[in-house]
Amino acid sequence: MEPRHDTPADAIRRLEALPRIALTPLPTPLHRLPRFSEALGADVWIKRDDMGSVALAGNKVRKYELLLGQALAEGADTLITTGALQSNSARAGAAAAAQLGLRCVLVLTGEPPAERRANLLLDDLFGADVRFVGRLAWSELAPVLDATAAEVTRAGGQPYVAPVGASSPLGSLGFALAYRELLDQLRQAGLGGGEHGDATEPLLVHTSTSGGTHAGLVVGRELSGRGPRPIGVDAGRVLPDPARDLARMATEAAAMIGLDRHFAEEEIAVELGYAGPAYGSITEEGVAAIRLLAATEGIVADPVYSAKGLAAVVELARSSRHGGRPIVFWHTGGWHANFDPHYGDALR
Ligand SMILES: Cc1ncc(COP(=O)(O)O)c(C=O)c1O
């Protein structure tokens, strides 16, 4: 495809004109965390993507608004998606499919568990056809998804395949929209809103794995020409080379809306120090951060994902690295997994 040389304003118009299905009331709240801030000695705010949407779908719902917008525009009747056994993305897809009257097939990595708990229980309640495919690496899933799509087609259905974490360039654009939503809220709250480097501009921290959230925020910042640079806290090396892969996803997402911008990996702020030894690890600092947020504010996070970003916020707040700036934690949801004893027990 020929690169287009549209202005950011053209790209914003294209972004806003993408087919989109409303799955969540927006904007999600942005508010200060007074008691958490006091405990940490810093000014900490939270963006509540853990609230509101269908089955409290978290960050994934913003991606599904665009993916399912495209799916319906193409006449799809079956959503196929994939992830780990306790995948939040798969559960969010199943809930959205139920809401829209689509069939849903979930291809989950891992062996069938003895009992369906937490996200797996919800997948079942939402009527998803759950397939357990054993211990495949996420990179090995493509042929399985292709075969599942072929099976749906043979049965007379029309499949739409959403990737791991719903993190395609199109899905990530949900977070380009979200970034613009945040900027409006920051302005209203008197946080930043000026040029880059404004002393009130907050630090923006979120958890990142398959990358759509981070890549979309990067594109949203580019479109807006200002605002805090998102800091993605890696929760487990799902991407082989996070900064490079995120830069590529952001570049592809920008191109989809006519923005000819090549992001370099040096422009992407990734924190790799909070994931623990592997994807799914439960870390001591993550559990401490969950307990502090819950005890001071009545807000719940999960150990696999949001705890990683939250632990980075706690460390940043306690250090002098924030330089007196406010910190905004983007809560990406996902605490349903706490109701699986594997995760819940770790919180005791
Ligand atoms: C609760 C939660 N937070 C953050 C993420 C990471 O988002 P992304 O996959 O867009 O990097 C996920 C991904 O599954 C998640 O479930």
Distance in angstroms (rounded) separating the CA atoms of residues 302 and 107: 22
User: Which of the following CATH numbers is that of domain 8-58+167-347: 3.40.50.720, 3.40.50.300, 3.40.50.1100, 1.10.10.10?
Assistant: 3.40.50.1100
Q: Mean pLDDT check: name the lowest of 16-25, 198-207, 215-224.
A: 198-207
For the stretch 21-40, pLDDT in tens is: 999 999 999 999 999 999 99
Pocket of ligand 1 (CB under 6 A): 58-59, 88-89, 165, 167, 207-214, 305-306, 332-334
Distance in angstroms (rounded) separating the CA atoms of residues 303 and 261: 35
Q: What's the pLDDT band for 55 if we cut at 50, 70, 90?
A: confident
* Mutation to probe ligand 1, out of 59, 108, 109 (largest number of atoms < 8 A from CB): 59
Residue 265 backbone phi and psi in degrees, to 5 = -60, -30
What stretch of H or E contains 320? none
* Mutation to probe ligand 1, out of 82, 91, 209, 231 (largest number of atoms < 8 A from CB): 209
pLDDT attached to residue 53: 84
- What strands lie across the sheet with 129-132, from one edge to the other? 129-132, 103-109, 78-84, 159-161
| For the CA of 216, the nearest atom of ligand 1 | 10
Q: How far is the CA of 117 from the centre of ligand 1 (A)?
A: 19
Q: How far is the CA of 155 from the centre of ligand 1 (A)?
A: 32
pLDDT attached to residue 56: 84
Q: How far is the CA of 302 from the centre of ligand 1 (A)?
A: 11
Annotated catalytic residue 208: no
Active site residue: 37, 53, 87, 210, which one?
87
* Mutation to probe ligand 1, out of 332, 340, 343 (largest number of atoms < 8 A from CB): 332
Q: How far is the CA of 205 from the centre of ligand 1 (A)?
A: 13
Exposure string for 289-317, b = 16+ CB within 10 A, e = fewer: bbebbeebbebbbbbbbbbbbbbbbbbbb
| For the CA of 215, the nearest atom of ligand 1 | 10
CATH topology of domain 61-165: Rossmann fold (3.40.50)
Question: Atom 5, ligand 1: which residue's CA is nearest?
Answer: 208
| For the CA of 213, the nearest atom of ligand 1 | 10
Q: What's the pLDDT band for 2 if we cut at 50, 70, 90?
A: low
Q: In terms of pLDDT, which residue wins out, 192 or 232?
A: 232
Beta bridge partners of 208: 234
**Mean pLDDT score, 51-80:** 94
- Domain(s) labelled CATH 3.40.50.1100 in the chain stretch across 8-58+167-347, 61-165
CA 122 remoteness from chain centre: 19
- Write the DSSP string, 242-305: HHHHHHHHHHHHHHHTT------GGG-EEE-TTS-SSTT---HHHHHHHHHHHHHHS----TTT
